Structure 1
Amino acid sequence: MKKTKTKLTGISLLLAIAMTVMSACGANGNNAANSGAQPTTSPSAETASPSAETTPASEEPTPETQDEGTLTVYLNDFDDIIGPMFEAATGHKINLVKGNGAEIMSRIQAEKGNPHWDVVWLDAMPTVYGMGEDNQLLTDWVPDNAAKLKDTYQAYVPANKSFYPTGAHAAGIIVYNTNAYTADQAPNSWDDFAKPEFKGAVGMADPAIAAPAFPFVARFFSEKQLDGGKTFFDSLFANGLKVYPKNPNVAAALSSGEIKAAALQESNAYGLVNSGEPIGIIWPEDGAPASVRVAAIQKNTKNPNAAKAFVNFLLDPATQQQLIDQGDESYFEPSVPGVNPKADRAADANLVAADAAWAFEHEAEIKQWFADKAVK
């Protein structure tokens, strides 16, 4: 009998200990809830303690993603100074891969399954717009300096925020050899290129090769629509329009006298004037087709911090001013206020750009039609 009583007492003791542990666990759970842990019960449990400062796990700060290496930027063959400028300002290392529009886009297309680039910076707003539509670009990210964009340039930013404009320049202005024409004799409008007195005397760059040349052509097609654009350029081809691969080739033909007038990208035009060539410049009253330079980030970039820093850097007024003051392609209209264009650039320069979505939709058709005509 005595042994049975002892056995029951031991069991009672074990039960008491177990109940004490369970009670302690329950108390710790209550303390955890009161200390701010996200509740897992119904919403009513959350509202039962309005004074509790709860922080959902999804809102807790996370470590910044680390870059894996050197930032690689694919860009048109301009502005070598941007690399040293960026590295000095931010400390990020940068690798510039340069080429004309066709070369850069061919490289991007070839690497589509395994991109080697982090940022693309091109005179090709319609093409880059298409990359955004093709899910190749980082979207819905807003650089701090985007708030500084002029209204005109804010309007260029697509709804998905896949790229940002860093400026624009004339994809083509009217230039002429002053040994051949006076200012009064030279063509003063785009329609003048079809006049008999300029037969065989006019040239331009190939829109399938030169990055600014497609925005030039696209402006006429978007303004006049496809049939009207074809009619317009048919009139120029019928009058002996010559097509050269790139704008420097057009400039060389103009200087040599091979052609006497041209639609020439503005940095090339002012470069000829500044080097002492007998060249006159005319900004047509109906506007010069604009090539909008845009920057975009590759969707799966392995260097997101440097990539975002680079795009933001391009939108800084100080950066754009330095590019104008010291850059190779220094003749352009800045996309942010507080930046002074070149003093000799026309104060009344009127830039008109084709709608990026429309131009992208019809890009392949226009380039193919133009290529067929140029070959003939």
Structure 2
Amino acid sequence: MKRIFFASAAIAVALWALPVHAAEKLVVSTWGGSWKDLLEKTVAKKFKEQTGADVEFITGGTIDRLNKAKLAKGNPESDITFTTSHVGWLYANDGLYEQLDMSKIPNAKSLVDQAKISPYHIGSWAYVYTIGYRPDMVPAGMTFTSWNDLWNPALKGKISAPDFDASHLVVVSAKLMGGDAASWEKGSDKLKALKPNFKAYYANDAASQQLLQNGEAPVQVMLSMNAYHIASQGVPVKVAMPKEGAVLGIDTIGIMKGTKNADLAYKFVNIMLDPAVQTEVATLKKGSPVVTNAKLADDVAKLPGVFTTPEQWNKEALIIDHKLRAEKTGEWRKWFTENVIN
């Protein structure tokens, strides 16, 4: 009996001494703040429930994360990356993304065509950059039915726009002058003529929201999600849908080349496109789901800039070719800084 006891004790000690393997972990690169919170509450939560694997987030700015990924090429810090559609092309062009095996992403069969960005990255949610304004701080009765309305002399010193991405106004100005993204120079003089109406330029979401909240710049070229966020806090903001279309923005997801967790990465991407997750994301952020089988409540679906039908996607979204935008963003930003901001 004693020999059996001691043998059992020895086995127990040996088992106790074995290394404990940590749970599997997927590392996701994304923006911080509310974007990280959004992913934690939605796709990461469901991913943990379905796989048992943990999710670790690496956060930072769009270009900062791209530069870090370039330095770590071949041995990526993250397994998954969220970024904008056009910056995603910069990842792809630098060989930082895996080419996606769509057979491993069954939920992708419901992707809207506009979210099929490249063989390397696909949409995760959508929004628009459009005109947001304070009706209480612009001339009585003023509305914005066209992008041309920004040039109204009554708006002198009242407009703000992002300084980090000039593509929205560059392409809009070109379109108003009969051009497009490829012939953007057609709108250059028109865009220069908007300079007197600018009050400020913003570098991030927080600054964008503050300019409208405090009324410093009561008209803004802005991310629709930001407008709806401050409206939920009681700020009287309206979101316009110009007849020329609002500039479509699609944030995307890609799998990093060299990941050691490819199977988990594909499961995460597939869960991102789950219709229930898409509904939750769109509801929380007041954006557009990128799958056709997500169902939104009427109060969300009716918001300007939230697309739920093929007709809306086709008629209300002003789409800048994502690959061309990636190639031109630096040039457009330089031109905008030199000719409008300065």
Q: Same fold (TM over 0.5)?
A: yes
Q: Counterpart of 1:270? A: 228
Selected match of 1:298 from 256, 273, 276: 256
In 2, distance between residues paired with 1:144 and 1:299?
21
Q: Counterpart of 2:80? A: 119
Selected match of 2:160 from 182, 203, 221: 203
TM-superposed CA distance for 1:337, in Å, is 1.5
Residues 125 and 282 in structure 2, CA contact (< 8 A), matched pair in contact too: no
Deviates further, 296-305 or 176-185: 176-185
Q: TM-score, normalization: structure 1?
A: 0.71
2:133 aligned with 1:176? yes
AA aligned to 2:86 is P
Compared with structure 1, are the counterparts of its residues 204 and 74 closer, same or farther at alpha carbon in structure 2 (3 Å cutoff)?
same
Q: Counterpart of 1:101? A: 62
Compared with structure 1, are the counterparts of its residues 68 and 114 closer, same or farther at alpha carbon in structure 2 (3 Å cutoff)?
farther
Selected match of 1:365 from 305, 321, 331: 331
Q: TM-score, normalization: structure 2?
A: 0.78
TM-superposed CA distance for 1:275, in Å, is 1.1
Q: Counterpart of 2:45? A: 84
Long gaps (5+) in structure 1: 1-66
Compared with structure 1, are the counterparts of its residues 146 and 268 closer, same or farther at alpha carbon in structure 2 (3 Å cutoff)?
same
TM-superposed CA distance for 1:368, in Å, is 2.1
TM-superposed CA distance for 1:113, in Å, is 5.9
In 2, distance between residues paired with 1:334 and 1:324?
6
- The C-alpha deviation readout for 1:222-257, integer Å capped at 9, x for no partner, is 825231243343222243352111132122111212
TM-superposed CA distance for 1:347, in Å, is 5.4
AA aligned to 1:101 is T
Match of 2:325, SS state, is helix
Q: Percent identity?
A: 21
Matches within 5 A, 1:45-194: 70-77=25-32, 78=35, 79=38, 80-81=40-41, 82-112=43-73, 114-122=75-83, 124-142=84-102, 143-153=105-115, 156-158=116-118, 161-170=119-128, 172-181=129-138, 184-194=141-151
Residues 144 and 242 in structure 2, CA contact (< 8 A), matched pair in contact too: no
Compared with structure 1, are the counterparts of its residues 240 and 71 closer, same or farther at alpha carbon in structure 2 (3 Å cutoff)?
same
Compared with structure 1, are the counterparts of its residues 268 and 256 closer, same or farther at alpha carbon in structure 2 (3 Å cutoff)?
same
Match of 1:117, SS state, is coil
Give the alignment's Cα RMSD to 1 decimal. 2.6
In 1, distance between residues paired with 2:77 and 2:226?
30
Long gaps (5+) in structure 2: 1-21, 306-315
Match of 1:103, SS state, is helix
Residues 125 and 288 in structure 2, CA contact (< 8 A), matched pair in contact too: yes
TM-superposed CA distance for 1:369, in Å, is 1.9
Q: Counterpart of 2:168? A: 216
Match of 1:372, SS state, is helix
Q: Counterpart of 2:246? A: 288
Compared with structure 1, are the counterparts of its residues 85 and 205 closer, same or farther at alpha carbon in structure 2 (3 Å cutoff)?
farther
- The C-alpha deviation readout for 1:302-345, integer Å capped at 9, x for no partner, is 111111111111111121112234x4xx2111111121346245
- The C-alpha deviation readout for 1:254-296, integer Å capped at 9, x for no partner, is 1212112111111110112111112222221211101111111
Residues 85 and 249 in structure 2, CA contact (< 8 A), matched pair in contact too: yes
AA aligned to 1:338 is N
- The C-alpha deviation readout for 1:334-364, integer Å capped at 9, x for no partner, is 1111213462454564222211121122122
Residues 174 and 281 in structure 1, CA contact (< 8 A), matched pair in contact too: yes
In 1, distance between residues paired with 2:23 and 2:49?
20
2:321 aligned with 1:355? yes
In 1, distance between residues paired with 2:147 and 2:335?
20
Q: Counterpart of 2:206? A: 248
In 1, distance between residues paired with 2:87 and 2:24?
27
AA aligned to 1:179 is D
AA aligned to 2:160 is G
